[in-house]
Amino acid sequence: MSYKTLLVHLDDSRRCEARVALSLELAQRWDAHLIGLYVVCQDMFRPMFGPHAPLSLARAEAQEAERRELAEDAFLGAAERAGRSAEWRAPSGPALDAALLHARHADLLVLGQPDPRDPAAYVAPHFVGDVLLGAGRPALVIPYAGDVRMLGENVLVAWDGSREAARAVADALPLLQRARHVGIEIVSTHGQHAHASEGIDVAAWLEGHGVRASFSTTPHPIGVGTGATLLNLVCDLHADLLVMGAYGHARARERVFGGVTRTMLESMTVPMLMAH
């Protein structure tokens, strides 16, 4: 199994360059084609209505076109320097709809955790989570803080026996097969260890795919959420990648995220491969 088509989300944020660099490195690993999808907030630079609105609107559109051209040159230039096959896409229409449509034609998505201190990182409310739940594709989410020096050397798999966890582990196989160490972690709650035997089964399944993995069970500390427990484990084990399922469901016109998924997207400290 391999990733042959990667899609990286491009915007005007400070972290976009690092996201592109990582995507090109991953494309190099699997000799994959890289798609750069430029999707930004469509309302951020729109002026207020008023007597000079037409002139202001024209100026805003010119600035947006200039930013788009700069982003295209930067992406294609980086791909050319890296010697990778790449293409640029800047679709029109609602940001989330465009992202979902193009994401479904890729093997792996590379997204960035929104930086609350960088307005250019904002696309739409819950953009990353909505793409995760709606695209039907695994996504590698990169934190906005810190440098990603290594990816996939020491991998922690969060396992709870769910469909989402099974999907995430299967989608992560190309990364797991290259890892130096893979650990399967089950966070037990209220003293329950019913899922501990599943760690053996998951490890056996992974071994059939050439992945040797250890497994362990961590008690759920009283007063500490599962998300916080996983974040602590990532730190304690020096993991450089967390693999886990993304949880949520559609309700009316919005998506409702599970507590652990929301916590991890808000407080992640290392890249996460998530699948729904």
Residues 204 and 240 in one domain: yes
Residues 135 and 198 in one domain: no
Task: Say what the pLDDT of residue 192 is.
Answer: 52
Band of pLDDT at residue 53, cut at 50, 70 and 90: low
Task: Give a yes or no: residue 149 inside a domain.
Answer: no
What lies within 8 Å, CB to CB, of 52 at 6+ separation is none
- Residue 205 confidence (pLDDT) above 90: yes
- Residue 189 confidence (pLDDT) above 70: no
Residue-wise pLDDT tens digits, 138-166: 999 999 987 887 899 999 999 988 899 99
More confident residue, 160 or 12: 12
Band of pLDDT at residue 187, cut at 50, 70 and 90: confident
Task: Give a yes or no: residue 147 inside a domain.
Answer: no
Task: Give a yes or no: residue 148 inside a domain.
Answer: no
Lowest mean pLDDT of 42-46, 53-57, 166-170, name the range: 42-46
Task: Give a yes or no: residue 160 inside a domain.
Answer: yes
CA distance 36 to 71: 10
Residues 9 and 137 in one domain: yes
Residues 108 and 177 in one domain: no
Residues 184 and 98 in one domain: no
More confident residue, 226 or 34: 34
Band of pLDDT at residue 226, cut at 50, 70 and 90: confident
Residues 134 and 159 in one domain: no
Task: Give a yes or no: residue 79 inside a domain.
Answer: yes
Q: Assign residue 136 the CATH number of its domain.
A: 3.40.50.620
* Domain interval for residue 210: 154-275
Check if the beta carbon of residue 129 is closer than 8 Å to that of residue 261: yes
State which of 89, 122, 142 marks the end of a domain: 142
Q: 248: number of CA atoms within 13 Å, CB side?
A: 26
Residues 102 and 158 in one domain: no
- Tally of CB atoms within 10 A around 147: 7
Residues 87 and 197 in one domain: no
- Please provide the distance, in angstroms rounded to a whole number, between the alpha carbons at the two ends of the chain: 19
Residue-wise pLDDT tens digits, 81-110: 999 999 999 999 999 999 999 999 999 999
- Residue 252 confidence (pLDDT) above 50: no
Residues 126 and 9 in one domain: yes
State which of 89, 118, 142 marks the end of a domain: 142
- Residue 9 confidence (pLDDT) above 80: yes
- Burial 182-216, CB ≥16 within 10 A → b, else e: bbbbbbbeeeeeebeebbeebbeebeeeebebebe
Task: Give a yes or no: residue 26 inside a domain.
Answer: yes
Task: Give a yes or no: residue 112 inside a domain.
Answer: yes
State which of 90, 107, 142 marks the end of a domain: 142
Q: How many domains does the chain have?
A: 2
Over range 41-65, report the average pLDDT.
65
Bridge partners of 156, per DSSP, are: 183, 242
Residues 12 and 119 in one domain: yes
Residues 136 and 167 in one domain: no
Residues 159 and 133 in one domain: no
Q: Write the secondary structure of 149-176 as one string of H (helix), E (strand) and C (coil).
A: CCCCCEEEEECCCCHHHHHHHHHCHHHH
Q: Cα 190 from chain centroid?
A: 30
Task: Give a yes or no: residue 65 inside a domain.
Answer: yes
